[in-house]
Structure 1
Amino acid sequence: MSIYKKKKFRLSPPQVMTLGFLFMIFVGAELLWLPISSAGEGRLPFIDALFMATSATCVTGLSMINTGAHLSTFGEIVLILLVQIGGLGFMTMSTLIALVLRRRISFQERLILQEAMNHDSTEGVVRLVRKVLVYALYIELAGALLLALRWSFEMPIGQALYFGVFHSISIFNNAGFDLFGALPNRPSSLIHYVEDPYVNIVSMLLIILGGIGFIVISDLLTYPQNKKLTLHSKVVLTASAALVVIGTIVILVFEFTNTQTLQPLSPIGKVLSAMLQSVSSRSAGVNTLDISSMRQATQFFIVIMMFIGAAPGSSGGGIKVTTFVILLGALLAMVRGKEEIVLFRRRISKDRIYKAITFALLSFILIVLSTMILSTTESFSFLGILFEVTSAYATAGMSLGLTSQLTQFGKVFIIILMFVGRLGPVSLAYTLTPVPEKANFRYPEGKITIG
């Protein structure tokens, strides 16, 4: 018998997450590829089915087809289930099944949940998952009923309820898929409701609640008892509110005289549509204005907003608002000659700063390289390709019309971008590389001139 014990092969949490998402995507693609998923005769080409499954599982919202017109009811249900599972995370859904079956959650599973939920430790992570499921159910149910009530005035009650459930799940999970293509002479997304305060406000609330993350929602619900918020919640809420206000003002300024977007609308319609576009642009993919008709300055601003993204622990993408705030904090600290980043009287540790810089820089490099590559393979403007690439990577779901014109290579490339964007380049790097060994020594310090 060998004196050496064989190492037990065990997947790391990032590897489990990666394989889980891949499994969901390919199962979803197979289901959407079936003839029963198509509204007409025949079936979707497999590459289009794979694209749609990836877009739904990664809660992106980019679409090769008119969802309402080209998918059957079965296909629509498959799509929205992928959105729900992808938005909450497959490990969250697996934990739900385990809790229902009264099975004990192992420590390894808690580690994976910690990774999936962006939680600081394994302590309380199962309790957080329970809260996530309850919050999501109540918010989506409330959204579905509110939207169904509005749409019951223009369609049969059964269809209104179905539309309410589908769009509530889609909007809350920041996916942006819609079924209005099934209605005659109706534009896609929420363009028909550009001046409808009810639909706009309900949609914005769903997007905001889905984008701030469940950790913040939990904090807000316990605030009446605790009378305090964590630093994470303070940063997310403050940064999100500031970005919504800034985004609304910028869109109003640039589009105010644009005859194809804001100019024909009433004063209330202008503010509502600018605000919804500001809220939606960081991840949701819902729009009441035609993005392709906007001025290039506005489109480029939306690219920046998509890059920033939503909050950690949410279904939104991008580099995350917390990363953006840390980068701004580092800039201000350097300008002021300070050695530390301080937010709300709390010092940010150096490992968090390094992680924020690494994540932002990796994301920036990936978007730049992807834009350069697709600029040589796709017949579209540079801004349009940059917009599409950023939207795919940040899982924002907005498009200037390039999605339906992609070549086969372009489709595969965007599929990979959506997948990498949902997992995050750092998590994917941990998946593909072995655990680094701790160094036993340190090199002497050197100095490099900066600036």
Structure 2
Amino acid sequence: MFRKPIQWIVSSPPRILLLGFGATILIGAWLLSLPFASRDEYSISFLDALFTSTSAACVTGLSLFDTGAVWTTYGQWVILLLVQVGGIGFMTMATLFALILRRRISLKERLILQQSLNQGSIEGVVRLVRKVILYALAIELAGTLLYTARFMVDMNIGEALYQGMFHSISIFNNAGFNIVGGADSFAMYSDDLYMNMVTALLIILGGFGFVVLADLFDFKRRRNRKFSLHTKVVLTVSASLIVFGTVVIFIFEYSNMHSTGGSSIWEKALVAFFQSVTTRSGGVSTVDISELRQATQFFMVILMFIGASPGSTGGGIKTTTFAVLVAAVLTMMRGKEDVVLFRLRLAQERVYKAVTVTLFCIGIVMVGTMVLCTTEKAGFLTNMFEATSAFGTVGLSMGLTSQLTVAGKITIICLMFIGRLGPLTLTYALGPRTGRALYRHAEGKIIIG
């Protein structure tokens, strides 16, 4: 009776990834819906628990409540565990336990890992898993120590250590959950250079992707001392977007008295830099996003849509997709045929995939925005910002999250889930398996532009 459904599931790594991720979210929702997960004065429905679990597992950070005020220590630990599993990947965590138990990793498990880590082949995927876990834990430990040193100025060492660990794991995984208080709780650190730099560094490292981190950390060990094309593109695009974003936000908010208008030039630049970084999927903010100018908010929507890099803890269409699109446009404008990055030609299949991913993502965000415009009593830009933030697993909000209707919550849950898995993974998981075409159609011509 159940043989065909089970065969349908196990026949495709994307389906196993899809259902495993969904099961993780449901288990987290059940744990968060237990009475002792929230404080006595708050009543948490299963839908609210499901929303929080999805936001944590999808490392988004959109929250219906003040995480530090509503959830008990137990509830916060559940959220933190979901963030860790969601950021590193549940298949990566499962592989960790298999390696600890010295169990052999099967071919199917390697294929699922390949899909989970967004790799082109299964070669070296288990070795990459070991590096992923090692680098993630090392960076989170360093972040914990750096945060603890700062928090000890304001609280006792035990509380400082707990706060440091929570925020290090949350921010490195680009989740954006915080227990300081409020969506823009880091506003108290808006002019604190130390906190801004530590937080920005964790967001950037989490957004690079584990393949890039492995390439960076192994740089001195290699004989040729050269980065891969993927690493070069990620580093170049990431740096360009951060710098460009900082300049644009600095200009737009220079005279805005609700954000940085009354601050010094140094503070304006620091705030602009941090908001540029956090749109890469960070989810924490040092200013009230709803008080920014509409031009800034729309520009942040664009940055959130681009997002982080492949194989990272962030979402969006990814920096490499954006780079391929820009390179393809420039190639067409110059009248050339080959799309070239760093003197290396890209296969047409890469360009087609970049276009497909982008159009898929635009369509999903458009549908999500239209649904929110129907169900929520908010302006168009607010709804689009929320939809993009959810799909890009960013976690920034203009204040709509806490006011969502039941339909709005379900919409955001779906957007976060699709955004974390990726539209192509979802399509491969649910779509039929197709073989190689046995013939090609005759070529036709159509006028473009």
Q: TM-score range by the shorter chain?
A: over 0.9
Q: Could you say which residue in structure 2 is the equivalent of 1:307?
A: 305
- Deviation track 1:166-210 (CA, whole Å, cap 9, x = no partner) reads 0000100001011012xxxx8743111000010000001100000
Matches within 5 A, 1:30-41: 30-41=30-41
Deviates more, 1:32-41 or 1:150-159: 32-41
8 Å CA contact 1:176–1:189 kept in 2: the answer is: no
**2:187 — aligned with what?**
191
CA contact (8 A) 1:176 1:286 kept: yes
**Conserved in 1, the CA contact under 8 Å of 2:317 and 2:361?**
yes
* 2:60 corresponds to 1:64: no
What's 2:110 paired with? 110
The alignment status of 1:435 with 2:433, answered yes or no, reads yes
Q: Which has the higher mean CA deviation after the structures are superposed, 123-132 or 9-18? A: 9-18
The amino acid that maps onto 1:98 is A
Seen in structure 2, the aligned counterparts of structure 1 residues 199 and 137 have a Cα distance that, compared at 3 Å, is same
Taking the aligned partners of 2:391 and 2:342, their CA distance within structure 1 comes to 31
SS in structure 1 of the partner of residue 281 of structure 2: coil
Structure 1 segment 212-361 matched on structure 2, within 5 A = 212-226=208-222, 227-361=225-359
- Residue 126 of structure 2 corresponds to residue 126 of structure 1: yes
Distance in structure 2 (CA, Å) of the matches to 1:191 and 1:178: 12
Task: Assess if the C-alpha contact under 8 Å between 2:42 and 2:70 holds in 1.
Answer: no
CA offset at residue 439 of structure 1?
1.6
Aligned pairs (5 A) from 1:405-416 = 405-416=403-414
Letter in structure 2 aligned against 1:56: A
Letter in 2 for 1:375: C
Tell me the C-alpha RMSD between the 2 structures. 1.2
- Contact 2:184/2:284 (<8 A) preserved: no
Indicate conservation of the 8 Å contact 1:68/1:179, yes or no.
yes
2:380, 2:42 → 1: CA distance?
35
Assess, with a 3 A threshold, how the Cα gap between structure 1 residues 270 and 238 changes in structure 2: closer, same or farther.
same
Counterpart CA distance in 2 for 1:340 and 1:432 is 33
Q: From the superposition, tell whether residues 289 and 188 of structure 1 become closer, same or farther in structure 2 (CA, over 3 Å).
A: closer
Mapping for residues 33-52 of structure 1, pairs under 5 Å: 33-41=33-41, 43-52=43-52
Alpha-carbon deviation of 1:366?
1.2
Shift of 1:34: 0.6
Equivalent residue number for residue 3 of structure 1: none
**CA deviation digits over 1:428-451, x for unaligned, max 9?**
011111211222111111111111
Gaps of 5+ in 1: 1-6
Q: Which amino acid aligns with 1:174?
A: N
SS of residue in 1 equivalent to 2:185 = coil
Asked whether the equivalents of residues 66 and 183 of structure 2 are also in contact (C-alpha less than 8 Å), the reply is no
Contact 1:195 1:265 in 2 (8 A): no
Q: CA deviation at 1:120?
A: 1.4
Q: How many residues align?
A: 441
Q: Aligned partners of 1:167, 1:57: CA distance in 2, in Å?
A: 16
C-alpha separation between the residues in 2 aligned to 1:415 and 1:176? 16
2-structure distance, mates of 1:401, 1:266:
27
Equivalence for 1:208? 204
Partner secondary structure for residue 218 of structure 2: helix
Q: Distance in 2 between matches of 1:205 and 1:58?
A: 21
* Structure 2 residue runs without a partner (length 5+): 1-5
Deviation, 1:8, is 5.9
Whether 1:22 and 2:22 are equivalent positions in the alignment is yes
Q: Which amino acid aligns with 1:327?
A: L
Aligned residue type for 2:63: S
For 1:12 and 1:256, the matched residues in 2 are separated by 51
How far does the alpha carbon of each residue in 1:120-173 deviate from its partner, in whole angstroms, 9 at most, with x for none? 110100000000000000000000010001000100110000000000001000
- 1:225 Cα deviation after fit: 2.8
CA drift of 1:264 comes to: 2.1
Distance 1:8 1:410, change over 3 A: closer
What one-letter code is carried by the residue in structure 2 that aligns with 1:154? Answer: D
TM-score by length of 2: 0.97
How much has 1:223 moved relative to structure 2? 1.3
Q: TM-score, normalised by structure 1?
A: 0.96
* 2:184–2:286 CA contact under 8 A, matched in 1: no
How far 1:269 moved relative to its partner? 1.6
- Alpha-carbon offset, residue 263 of structure 1: 1.6
8 Å CA contact 1:15–1:431 kept in 2: the answer is yes
Q: Distance in 2 between matches of 1:377 and 1:52?
A: 20
Name the SS of the counterpart of 1:190 in structure 2.
Answer: helix
- Alpha-carbon distance in 2 for matches of 1:404, 1:234: 40
Give the distance between the partners of 1:200 and 1:376, measured in 2 at CA.
Answer: 37
Q: Indicate whether 1:13 and 2:9 are aligned.
A: no
